[in-house]
């Protein structure tokens, strides 16, 4: 009984109040949608409430951290969750991303005449799972949180029931997601099997029995004491392979272009930003904590994956005419850049904070630029959300200058064009890669950036120049930029993030002082 009392006293529910509040808000939205009137103005109430609720939550979260409860490193739930400054940075990141997805979602759901309640319910639950994921220090909690997020994403990817491509993308994401979960779980089983009885598998027990065999602390000691054990190496590789699926790293990127192409626009942005960010933060935690004992084994492996990912993503994006497929493969290349930062953090053993903060800065800049791009894309009124092509943006600078300028800033930041924030983020990335002596990866990054200019500038050309001349007998397509009424909140969000993307290239605050 005493053991149970000690266990219950460590269940500090107050430490995860943002996640609990977000989950309760998601349930309330579902009830609100269920019992509200089916009139058009009542349907929009769920969307407005979701945005307002999350804005209040992130505001109080920042207020609580800055003025009330300053965060220190601490753990809860018997060491299964670890709270600290880096975790709070990522919680803020996921909340901000969720707000943007809800704003984009309100516009998309209205145009496609889809239900508001379930959409916002699932996005908020997925965000709560991502926030738990970035604080876990136990493989069981990691797997449960990851699957919670995946279960929310499966219906969201296929949410546009009016589009066959969206339903197809949902099936593909489900199949590849199941495969990645199987790989991850098999890796966890191997680590647990050896860790629970090391002597039976030719391994050395690092500590006396009684510890949690799936805790990061125990696994770190186990892997450091048995660096050459084949089963442990296989388990580590399978766990990392499961995460590589989530971030879209080659050779596990095959699902990315099809799923990005068919998904609703807000969910494509959600996958591109939040899902990728969670995977990289999780990867940083693993390679610098429990898997740090196998750094010599993992560095060449991750280096090969990073180089291949950068080159494949950029070269494959050059051949795409569909914009969402191009952005998906561009996201694969960005995953390769971030993998180089992960490798740099492994080189700076004991002093990896600099590389970690480069990853954080890159992710935030990527968030702002991505939501500018996807926000402008959401303004386009198409019968099928997956049909975005270059021709839809011809002469946009003349028709809608504010949207074109914001889109150019977003694209330029993703491409790394000075003086935008994306340029500084890539420059910081080059800096830490050079200091870590990752010269081959550095060469791949330079080649990737040069190649990316080609396909990004193809889109920029269509935005800035007049439409191409067509024969008189060619049927004119309907102008997709006609339904731009009632976009106040979305418009101001796009403008704000475009300004941040521009200003961050000129002034980086503490990041600039550190570099």
Long-range contacts of 220-228 (CB under 8 A, 24+ apart): 220/289, 220/290, 220/291, 220/292, 220/293, 221/293, 222/191, 222/194, 222/195, 222/198, 223/290, 223/291, 223/292, 223/293, 223/294, 224/292, 224/293, 225/293, 226/194, 226/198, 227/293, 227/294, 227/296, 227/297
Quick one: tokens of 421?
């924030």
Render 452-503 in DSSP notation, one character per residue.
Answer: HHHHHHHHHHHHHSPPPP--TTSPPPPPTT---SS-HHHHHHHHHHHHHHHH
What's the alpha-carbon Rg for the chain, to the nearest Å? 23
Instruction: Render each residue's pLDDT in the chain as its tens digit; 515 residues.
Output: 565 566 566 677 888 889 999 999 999 998 888 877 666 666 678 888 999 999 999 998 888 777 666 667 788 888 888 888 888 889 999 999 999 999 999 999 888 888 888 999 999 999 999 999 999 999 999 999 999 999 999 999 999 888 899 999 999 999 999 999 999 999 999 999 988 888 777 778 777 666 788 888 888 888 888 888 899 999 999 999 999 998 999 888 889 999 999 999 999 999 999 999 999 999 999 998 899 889 889 999 999 999 999 999 999 999 888 899 999 999 999 999 999 999 998 887 655 578 888 899 999 999 999 999 999 998 887 777 777 888 888 888 888 889 899 999 999 999 999 889 999 999 999 999 998 889 999 999 999 999 999 999 988 888 887 666 655 545 555 666 666 666 778 989 999 999 999 999 888 776 655 55
Phi, psi (degrees; rounded to nearest 5) at 57: -65, -45
Cβ–Cβ < 8 Å for 320, 326: yes
SS3 322: strand
Q: What's this model's pTM, rounded to 2 decimal places? A: 0.93
Quick one: tokens of 195?
């860790």
**Partners of 138 in the beta sheet?**
215
Query: In b/e form, how buried is each residue of 315-328, taking b as 16+ CB within 10 angstroms?
Result: bbbeebebbbbbbb
Q: Alpha-carbon distance 210 to 458, whole Å?
A: 60
DSSP element (H, E) containing 142? helix 139-157
In this prediction, residue 75 carries a pLDDT of: 82
DSSP state of 83: E
Give the chain's end-to-end CA distance (angstroms, integer).
Answer: 54
Q: Alpha-carbon distance 85 to 431, whole Å?
A: 24
DSSP state of 76: E
Quick one: tokens of 60?
């109080």
Q: Alpha-carbon distance 409 to 387, whole Å?
A: 23
Closest-CA residue to 309 (of 341, 284, 331): 331
Q: Alpha-carbon distance 88 to 464, whole Å?
A: 40
Quick one: tokens of 64?
């609580």
Query: In b/e form, how buried is each residue of 185-206, taking b as 16+ CB within 10 angstroms?
Result: bbbbebbbbbbeebeebebeeb
Cα angle at 137 between 134 and 140, to 5 degrees? 100
SS3 215: strand
Q: What is the dihedral of CA 122, 127, 132, 133, to 10 degrees?
A: 100
Cβ–Cβ < 8 Å for 133, 282: yes
Q: Which residue has the tokens 């704003």?
A: 103
Quick one: tokens of 325?
């497929």
Q: Which residue has the tokens 């109430």?
A: 45
Q: Alpha-carbon distance 243 to 252, whole Å?
A: 10
Q: Within 13 Å and on the Cβ side, how many CA atoms surround 258?
A: 15
SS3 430: helix
In this prediction, residue 15 carries a pLDDT of: 84
């Amino acid at each position: 009984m005493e053991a149970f009392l000690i266990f219950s006293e460590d269940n500090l529910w107050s430490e995860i109040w943002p996640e609990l509040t977000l989950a309760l808000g998601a349930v309330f939205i579902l009830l609100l949608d269920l019992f509200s009137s089916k009139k058009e103005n009542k349907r929009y109430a769920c969307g407005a409430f979701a945005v307002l609720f999350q804005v209040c939550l992130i505001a109080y979260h920042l207020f609580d951290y800055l003025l009330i409860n300053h965060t220190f490193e601490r753990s809860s739930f018997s060491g299964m969750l670890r709270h600290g400054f880096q975790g709070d940075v990522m919680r803020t990141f996921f909340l901000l991303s969720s707000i943007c997805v809800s704003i984009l979602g309100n516009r998309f759901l209205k145009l496609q005449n889809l239900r508001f309640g379930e959409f916002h319910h699932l996005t908020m639950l997925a965000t709560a799972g991502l926030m738990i994921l970035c604080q876990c220090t136990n493989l069981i909690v990691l797997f449960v949180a990851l699957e919670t997020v995946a279960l929310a994403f499966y219906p969201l990817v296929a949410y546009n029931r009016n589009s066959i491509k969206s339903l197809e993308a949902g099936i593909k994401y489900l199949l590849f997601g199941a495969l990645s979960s199987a790989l991850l779980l098999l890796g966890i089983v191997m680590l647990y099997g050896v860790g629970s009885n090391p002597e039976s598998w030719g391994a050395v027990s690092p500590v006396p029995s009684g510890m949690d065999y799936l805790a990061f602390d125990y696994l770190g000691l186990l892997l450091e004491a048995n660096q050459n054990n084949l089963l442990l190496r296989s388990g580590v590789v399978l766990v990392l392979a499961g995460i590589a699926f989530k971030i879209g790293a080659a050779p596990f990127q095959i699902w990315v272009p099809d799923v990005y192409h068919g998904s609703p626009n807000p969910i494509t942005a959600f996958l591109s930003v939040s899902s990728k960010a969670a995977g990289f933060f999780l990867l940083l935690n693993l390679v610098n904590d429990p898997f740090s004992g196998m750094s010599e084994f993992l560095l060449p492996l991750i280096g090969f994956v990073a180089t291949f990912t950068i080159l494949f993503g950029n070269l494959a994006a050059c051949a795409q005419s569909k914009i969402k497929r191009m952005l998906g493969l561009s996201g694969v290349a960005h995953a390769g850049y971030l993998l180089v930062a992960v490798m740099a953090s492994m080189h700076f053993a004991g002093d990896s904070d600099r590389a970690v903060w480069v990853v954080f800065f890159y992710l935030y800049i990527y968030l702002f630029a991505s939501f500018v791009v996807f926000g402008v894309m959401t303004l386009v009124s198409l019968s099928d959300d997956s049909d975005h092509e270059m021709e839809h943006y011809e002469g946009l600078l003349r028709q809608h200058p504010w949207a074109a300028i914001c889109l150019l800033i977003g694209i330029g930041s993703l491409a790394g064009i000075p003086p935008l924030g994306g340029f500084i983020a890539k420059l910081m990335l080059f800096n830490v890669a050079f200091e870590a002596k990752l010269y081959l990866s550095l060469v791949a990054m330079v080649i990737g950036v040069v190649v990316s200019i080609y396909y990004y500038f193809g889109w920029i050309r269509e935005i800035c120049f007049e439409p191409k001349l067509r024969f008189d007998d060619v049927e004119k397509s309907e102008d997709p930029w006609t339904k731009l009424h009632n976009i106040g909140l979305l418009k101001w969000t796009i403008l704000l993030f475009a300004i941040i993307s521009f200003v961050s290239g000129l002034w980086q605050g503490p990041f600039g002082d550190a570099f």
